Amino acid sequence: MVYAITEREYGKSLVKLLHVKRDGLVHTIKEFEVATKLKLNSEKDYIEGNNEDIVATDSQKNTVYLLAKRFGVSNPERFALLLARHFLNQYSHVVRAKIEVVEHPWKRITYSKNGPQHNHAFVSVPDCERSAKVTLVRNGTAQVESGLNKLQVLKTTQSAFVNFYRDEFASLPDMEDRIFSTVVKANWTYDTIANVNFDQAFEKVKLAILRGFAGCPDRGVYSPSVQQSMYLIQKDILDQIRQLRDVYMQMPNKHYFSVDLSKFPRVGSKTNDEVFLPVDKPSGMIEATLARNDFRAKM
């Protein structure tokens, strides 16, 4: 029998990094978790057990720290591009570098809404994580995919789910007005990175998700399904950021079911619109990728 290795790469994962930039009394921090993956121009390490071309995963870890020390860090995309380009420039036998960076955000401590920000003390920000993935092939152009994860949102009205397919397996009743909660994961791929401000693009995506989910502050926005809310958010993102090729989103249902209090007539009620039970599992999972038509035609 003849066998072929159809794909291969190796690297270092879960490389944790805290970078501190000190500008007098004002300090700035960035905390990243980095994964590096390299593909070599030979399979002899797999087939022959010959390790002479292997850039040790420990060396890759050291590279993360040394480049952060030498060049500093700004955002996940730029740091991933820096690492990917370094591995191809430093090692002629590396033909592909994949770098993934997840940012764990912090914000400066303040003691009031409009109060001064602390120079060197920070609190973890729980609203979402930011990530980036860069793939760079020798003599090719960098492919950049950005993302956010763990953005949990909830609204108490302006959401329904009715008129869905029914057969002998269906038991869910129509829901004219329900709690809608989800934990958003989104990834977006750039068609070009020329003149892209990654920080501004990230904030635009995050704002589009929040605005598409919540709507205007006084009236909100009606959602007939998670699917349509997702589609409208993705369309808004592509309309705003012309450099994007596509947007992937994942929106699992975080269910909150009304607690049945009718069993307690003296203290409860036949109807309950105030007390709900959070249910983690199982949950619905809705996901989709929206791409520009001109890109789909190339696939």
CA atoms within 13 A on the CB side of 103: 26
Both tokens assigned to 100 = 């993934």
Both tokens assigned to 167 = 């057969």
160 Cβ partners below 8 Å, 6+ apart?
Answer: 175, 176, 177, 178, 222, 223, 224
Cβ 84 vs Cβ 35: under 8 Å: no
Both tokens assigned to 146 = 């950005």
21 part of the active site: no
57 part of the active site: yes
12 part of the active site: yes
Q: Which of 57, 104, 118, 156 is catalytic?
A: 57
Cβ 100 vs Cβ 14: under 8 Å: no
92 Cβ partners below 8 Å, 6+ apart?
Answer: none
Both tokens assigned to 22 = 């000190």
Q: Which residues are catalytic?
A: 12, 57, 255
